[in-house]
Amino acid sequence: MDIFSADAYLFDIDGTLLNTRDAIHYFAFRNALKKLFGFEATIDGVPVHGNTDIGILRAVCRLQGVADAEFEAQLPRIIAMMSAEVASRKTEIRAELCPGVLELLAELTHRNKLLGVVTGNFEGIGWTKLEASGLRKYFAFGSFSDHAEFRADIFRNGLAEVTRRIGPQACTYVVGDTPSDIRAAKEAGVPIISVATGVFPQAELEALGPDICLSCCTEMMQTIRK
């Protein structure tokens, strides 16, 4: 598998492109649930890494006894409130780029590859993180959890946009950092490059059978220099 042979690359955000060293996204989540449902939210016992914003919110609300129908009725307001709060605090976001990311995105752009993001973040939050980190300019489009609760569907929506822009013959790779990314890529039928720049060690990712497993994006760049 030639890492640079694809026509398009779809990147996860958190743990793949960057790691945020603040709690702005988390407090936006807590504040929205407090205002709309009246409880102090906690993510204790809820899987977060590789999950989606909707998935996390739904799980927390269920633990608090909120019915799915009530949650879904309030979801548009939750999305709007969270996105607005994160955007209002954009200058406070401390985003640390993962190793090799900036160099890799510049190289893929130089090669005229189509770049998109596929993330469990809500759209407004995902773009705000990329703007705060200086990466927004590299991406032509994104697929977010506003309209897809499950990661495989987020990937499928990203692939559909690649097809719309390039055509059905396009070859696409996903780049992600979690077991959920690997499972979703397999379900969506798209090859995945796993990078161990999030919380999961490379050996754990490799055991799940991604098409390529690397320690970080720097390894992708090293293939050019050989």
Is 1.10.10 the CATH number for 24-91?
no
Q: What is the pLDDT tens value at each position of the chain, 226 positions in all? A: 688 999 999 999 999 999 999 999 999 999 999 999 999 988 888 888 889 999 999 999 999 999 999 999 999 999 999 999 999 999 999 999 999 999 999 999 999 999 999 999 999 999 999 999 999 999 999 999 998 999 999 999 999 999 999 999 999 999 999 999 999 999 999 999 999 999 999 999 999 999 999 999 999 888 765 5
Q: So what's the pLDDT on residue 3?
A: 86
Cα(208)–Cα(24) distance, rounded to whole angstroms? 32
Where do the structural domains in the chain lie, given as residue ranges?
A: 8-21+95-225, 24-91
**Which class would CATH give 8-21+95-225?**
alpha beta
pLDDT for 43 equals 86
- Report pLDDT for 203: 98
Q: What is residue 154's predicted lDDT score, i.e. its pLDDT?
A: 98
Query: Are 216 and 99 a contacting pair, CB within 8 Å?
Result: yes
Topology alike, domains 8-21+95-225 and 24-91: no
Q: What does the alpha-carbon distance between residue 74 and residue 66 come to, in Å, rounded to a whole number?
A: 11
Q: Specify the pLDDT at position 223.
A: 74
The confidence score (pLDDT) of residue 225 equals 56
For residues 87 and 93, give the distance between their C-alpha atoms in angstroms, rounded to a whole number: 10
| Residue of 137, 126, 220, 135 whose CA lies nearest to 173 | 220
Alpha-carbon distance of 201 to 143, in angstroms, equals 26
